Amino acid sequence: MEVATSILSVKKEKCIQTFYNLETAGTDYFHIDVMDGKFVKNDTTELMTEYSEYLNSITNVPLDVHLMVEDVMSYIKSFIIFEPRNITVHYEAAKDEGELLSWITYIKEHNCKAGISIKPNTEIEKIYNILPYVHTVLIMTVEPGKGGQELIPETIDKIKKLKEYISKNNLEVDIEADGGINLDNVEKIREAGCDIIVAGTSIIDSSNYKETIEKLKSCF
Ligand code: DX5
Ligand code: ZN
């Protein structure tokens, strides 16, 4: 299992040192939580733009962009220039499947992997039609909007269900879980069939990034 560190709570004054420490600690991705103040209450556009630009210029660790926004296409265009490994859009932000596919196609045509994310209350079956077109499904294990929340246990069943569907249909899609993941619940997430976990608070608030990331990966 890979680890994507959410840099949502990284303080600006400490960001250079923190990014360096996360890279040497072995994070597999920097997870960039982009919020527009509309799709969710908080607005992180300015800070995440600044961090993405900076990270693209200093590191080879891939960027994993998670768009929690209403005006999806213009945000894809703003973030694609930072050459992320993948961009994930929300199922709930699209008016229909056609619009969703137009975003996914645009992302893939620009040398980037495409992901689709669903909120805790969205049924997993809703995205089955889209699976052949995406590289990743990001299952929100908390309500999108802020870090430091507690994982909603029912979302683990969605991971299991999706994993079974992916295997049964021979699809090549990675499952990523995002929100409230820590050393106490990561084993359950792994058992459910997750490929990538996103962790913010549990890494950033820990005293030793390397140890925490290694433990998250191997699930002690
Ligand atoms: C929530 C974000 C997450 C989250 C991760 O809207 O998508 O990436 O903040 O942070 P923790 O691990 O603190 O829940
Ligand atoms: Zn996220």
Question: In the chain, pLDDT over 70 holds for what percent of residues?
Answer: 99
Tell me how far the alpha carbon of residue 147 lies from the centroid of ligand 1, in angstroms.
4
Q: Which helix (H) or strand (E) holds 32?
A: strand 29-35
Question: What is the CB neighbour count within 10 angstroms for residue 205?
Answer: 12
- Is the pLDDT at 218 greater than 90? The verdict is no
Residue with structure tokens 């645009």?
Answer: 106
pLDDT digits (tens, 9 = 90+) for 45-91: 999 999 999 999 999 999 999 999 999 999 999 999 999 999 999 99
Q: What residue owns the CA closest to ligand 1's atom 3?
A: 179
In the predicted model, what is the mean pLDDT of residues 115-129? 98
Strands 136-140 and 174-178, sheet pairing? parallel
> Which residues are tagged catalytic?
33, 178
- Please choose from 10, 30, 198, 205 the residue to mutate so as to test ligand 1's pocket, defined by most ligand atoms within 8 A of CB: 198
Task: Please give the C-alpha separations between residue 86 and each of 23, 51, 125, 212, in angstroms, as whole numbers.
Answer: 18, 16, 23, 24
Tell me how far the alpha carbon of residue 166 lies from the centroid of ligand 1, in angstroms.
25
